[in-house]
Structures are given as C-alpha cells and as structure tokens.
Amino acid sequence: MVAYAGFLDDLPVPLAAADALAFSYTLTAADLPPPQSGPRIVVGDAGPGTLTGAAVAVSGDTLAVGAPVIGGRRGRVYLFRRSPLGLIAQRRLTPDDSVAGDHVGAAVSLSGRGALIGAHRARDGQGAADAYHYAQG
C-alpha cells in the first residue's frame, strides 16, 4: 500500500487550510515492477542468531542496520554509505551506557545526518531511544 497525506488547501476546492486529508491506494502485483535484489549486506562480526537486519532505515546515501541481539543481547546499529564502489561500512553505534539485554538496534530511524536508535529492553525494560548526529563520510 502507498499512502499520501497532505493539506486540503493543496486541492483546487475551497476548504479550510487547517483541514487534513489522506489518500490510500492499494497496489496489486500487476501494478509493480518485478523485484530486483541488490547485493547482500554482510556484517563481519554478526553471526547466526544476532537478528541483524531486524530493523533497517535509509536516508539519502546512508543505510542503518540494527542487530539487537549481538554482543550478549546488548545490540548495535551499523551505518553504511553508498558509494560508486557499493556500500561501505562507516561506523557501529552502541550507546556507552548500554548493557547486555538492552537490544539496541531493535528500531532505527535516519533523517539527514541524524540517527535515532531504539533499545526496547534498556533501563530495566522501560526502553530508551538514543539520538546521534554524524558527520559526512
């Protein structure tokens, strides 16, 4: 499904500017091109059972891949940058105060040069989200 949300003042009808509108479209397989697979992303220190790829996010040329069960279930997030040579590993993100069982990387979000990393079991099960800002490259 593809969704669109916008303001009614974008439409050529006289409606209140604060009114909101959302459209929902259901696409069938006939509407979509055949899927194409790119190269598989392999994280060097992630083995079986680490749930690597449980959460992913893309913003521009940056890809974030969560691995919430790696490192004694402490978890971490890997950042990759797309280049003409393919995807290049940039850095690993794990909050300094995380401990085993936090599941860092269970949720990830990217926007521009910022990352928001969720750890749903952090702080004795209360959960936490850590924000990062990273430089180009």
Residue 19 has pLDDT above 80, yes or no: no
**Shared domain check, 59 and 9:** no
* Greater model confidence, 38 or 133: 133
Of 86 and 57, which is predicted with more confidence? 57
Do 64 and 124 share a structural domain? yes
Cβ atoms of residues 117 and 105 within 8 Å? yes
Question: 10-19, 28-37, 58-67, 95-104 — which is least confidently predicted?
Answer: 10-19
Please give the pLDDT value at position 43. 74
- Residue 8 lies in domain: 2-31
40 within domain boundaries: no
28 pLDDT more than 90: no
Same domain, 62 and 21: no
Q: Across residues 27-43, what is the average pLDDT?
A: 68
Residues 73 and 116 in one domain: yes
Characterize 95-128 residue by residue with b for buried, 16 or more Cβ atoms within 10 angstroms of its Cβ, and e for exposed. Answer: beebeeebbbbbbbebeeeebbbbbbbbeeeeeb
Residue 44: inside a domain, yes or no? Answer: no
